[in-house]
Chains A and B, each alone.
Chain A
Amino acid sequence: MSEAIDVNVAGRKTNTVLQMENLRTFFYTQKGVVKAVNDVSLRIEKGKTLALVGESGCGKSVTSLSIMRLISKPGRIESGRILFEGEDLLTYSDRRMRSIRGNRISMIFQEPMTSLNPVFRVGEQIVEVFLTHEKIKKSEAYERAVELLKMVGIPAPEKRITSYPHELSGGMRQRVMIAMALASPDPGLMIADEPTTALDVTIQAQILQLMNELQQRVKMSLLLITHDMGVVAETADHVVVMYAGKKVEEADINDIFEHPQHPYTVGLLNSIPANEKYRGRDRLEAIPGVVPNLLKLHNGCPFENRCVYARDICRREFPERRVIGENHEVYCHFADQLDFS
């Protein structure tokens, strides 16, 4: 059952690069079932950045791996649809999925050192991406690789192309990853899973700026997965907040920071020391408690045990979707009754 979100933007449906509907990805572990992604829907528009935000265990990484169909045992995509340019990726054969990966949908990860093969030169790895998806001569592939390295801001690309990953700094490696992700002639969607978390903050700023620029230039759509609201503030157009496998709130960038409506979103923003409100104060308004054990979740709202507004109903039922503004929806029983100003 697809979500009514289409209704709002029915006229702009063709601008959708990715539409994920009611995705459920579960992990069948020895100790029980972990509902890593539990009925989550989202939509990425062409040329825009969607940030998927949440803390550890919320399911954001699993979501991205599900889109790429890189979930392996004991995980399984239970149900849902992942429409990429109109077609459901979950119905694709392995072969067809392989032709999509690295080509139309590419992914960059947090640790570029482990995503790049340490025994191959950087140039070889980029060229490999070209040659996998296109029939071109190796020399041409190398030329294009140099162009790509230039595009991602690597100085002296003709020299760098023969470097090994360990000869490059973290920031450089991440640029190489981005170059690889762009190595196809028609990149539809880039998924970046915590791309700057392992980098120094000044390098992070460079990478984020690069991604913003590339997005303008190549009209690339970006699914950015992060736990860092600061990164979200700098790059996202639209934001989805996840908690314990569920989507709890979704809004455009300014709304999520200025008018958050879910107690978790509010709590998250309050936990950030950079928040304006803490000028001159020395205690943070922290969310009490810890994330519940994902193996022992009840059927209600997973945030219930930490929420100061929780009532009985929160334990019994997961809240329905409530639209509270333009492109702004929240999953909370008291969505419009709580005043967070």
Chain B
Amino acid sequence: MSTIEQTADTRQSRLENSLLYENWLLLRKNKSAMLGLFIIVIFILVAVFAPLLATHDPIAQNIDLRLSRPMENGYILGSDDFGRDLYSRIIYGARISLMIGTITVSIGLVFGVFLGLIAGYYGGVFDILIMRLIDIMLAFPYILLALVIVATLGPSLRNAMIAIGIVGIPRYARIVRSSVLAEKESDYIIVERSLGASNFELMFKSILPNCLSPIIVQATLGYAGAILSSAALSFLGMGTQPPTPEWGLMLSSAKQFVASAWWVVTFPGVAILISVLGFNLFGDGLRDVLDPRLKE
């Protein structure tokens, strides 16, 4: 009995069998998503190759040349009020931001996914307990909660990352929980259970892979959120401490120079803007590609 046409087992067909590849093809068509991706790639490259790209030591001060204009005195983007090269600080700032994004998203993801899985799969008292905890966390304004955590632990970049990470947990937990609730009732889960699969196998190997789409989207957008939150915390003096070249901190310490030395404020701000935009565009594009596919 003939079925699908025979195709040779070429590299083409091996690629075709990859879910990732199919998604990629769709994503490619979304111009703003590709722009976002481009920005992200640049961002990552800059962060990784910071030492090669920087012209100066980002924390080296040179009071004599403070507040130099862009392209003056060998400072591509000018220098700040301590005479530090803005360009190099921004470059290294990308590295910091990448680290912030990665660590905060990881914290949120690992704990959030775990909690969401347990709540969604086992339900009952676990669900109630975890959801109450989530609700309590969500009752506080995002920044307020982060501030509280940082205030408790002490202001520093490390603690800012922990705070932002923790504050992000509810979002992932909720997303995963609702996905799990939906998938749990699927026929294929009933089948796998009837085949004798253990709870662990069902949760992690069968249900979780089907919940990945919203998690991936959320994680991508989470980078954007993390950069903004960290900037906000630094702005409030509760996050990164000087002299670390974190964009938010750079913005905050340059507040006073808005009128007189616009470059000290503008360039870090633009850096934040562009990187957040990049993650948002890409994240939205991902969502468009991944969500309708689920309805297939």
Contacts and interface: CB of A to CB of B under 8 A. Distances in A.
Interface string A285-309: 0001110000000000000010000
A284 to B, nearest CB: 13
A289 B29 contact: no
10 contacts: A30-B26, A30-B29, A288-B1, A288-B2, A289-B1, A289-B2, A289-B3, A290-B3, A290-B4, A305-B2
Contacts of B26: 30
A289 B5 CA distance: 10
Interface string B4-42: 100000000000000000000010010000000000000
A288 B3 CA distance: 9
Contacts of A289: 1-3
A30 B26 CA distance: 9
Interface string A26-52: 000010000000000000000000000
Interface in A302-319: 305
Contacts of A305: 2
Contacts of A30: 26, 29
Interface string A7-43: 0000000000000000000000010000000000000
B187 to A, nearest CB: 19
A305 B5 CA distance: 10
- Give the bracket for the number of chain A residues in contact with chain B: under 10
Nearest to B25: A30
A290 B4 CA distance: 8
A47 B4 CA distance: 43
Interface string B203-234: 00000000000000000000000000000000
A30 B28 CA distance: 12
A30 B27 CA distance: 12
Nearest to A31: B25
Contacts of A288: 1-2
B192 to A, nearest CB: 27
Contacts of B4: 290
Nearest to B3: A290
Contacts of B29: 30
A289 to B, nearest CB: 5
Interface in A117-136: none
Given A288-B1, A289-B1, A290-B4, 7 more contacts: A30-B26, A30-B29, A288-B2, A289-B2, A289-B3, A290-B3, A305-B2
A289 B26 CA distance: 30
Nearest to B1: A288
Nearest to B26: A30
Nearest to B2: A289
Nearest to A296: B5
Closest 10 CB pairs of A and B: A289-B2, A288-B1, A290-B3, A288-B2, A289-B1, A30-B29, A305-B2, A290-B4, A289-B3, A30-B26
B25 to A, nearest CB: 8
A288 B1 CA distance: 6
B228 to A, nearest CB: 35
A155 B163 CA distance: 63
A166 B26 CA distance: 38
A306 to B, nearest CB: 8
A288 B29 CA distance: 38
Contacts of B1: 288-289
Nearest to A306: B2
A116 B175 CA distance: 31
A1 B185 CA distance: 54
